[in-house]
């Protein structure tokens, strides 16, 4: 059974996006049946470019 994780922050533009990306990346790498999602209580509608750069640098697929 898949474990679903919701990561919530205010704008869903950096912290929650980083957490979602890293958790999904490592779960897949370790063969764990875990799926992370992120959301914001007041979403900004844009992603922080530094967050995307950090994920890319860490080898996380940000295409989806």
pLDDT, one tens digit per residue, over 21-45 is 999 999 999 999 999 999 999 999 9
pLDDT at position 63 = 87
Instruction: Give the chain's largest Cα–Cα span.
Output: 34
Element (H, E) at 3: strand 3-9
- If you compute the radius of gyration of the chain from its CA atoms, what whole number of angstroms results? 12
- Give percent of the chain with pLDDT exceeding 70: 100
Question: What are the structure tokens assigned to 48, written together?
Answer: 């922080």
pLDDT at position 61 = 92
For the whole model, what pTM was predicted?
Answer: 0.91
Domains of the chain, residue spans: 3-46
């Amino acid at each position: 059974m898949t474990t679903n994780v919701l990561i919530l922050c205010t704008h869903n533009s950096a912290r929650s996006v980083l957490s979602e990306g890293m958790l999904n990346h490592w779960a897949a790498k370790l063969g764990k049946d875990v799926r992370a999602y992120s959301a914001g209580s007041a979403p900004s509608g844009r992603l922080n470019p530094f967050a995307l750069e950090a994920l890319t640098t860490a080898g996380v697929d940000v295409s989806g």
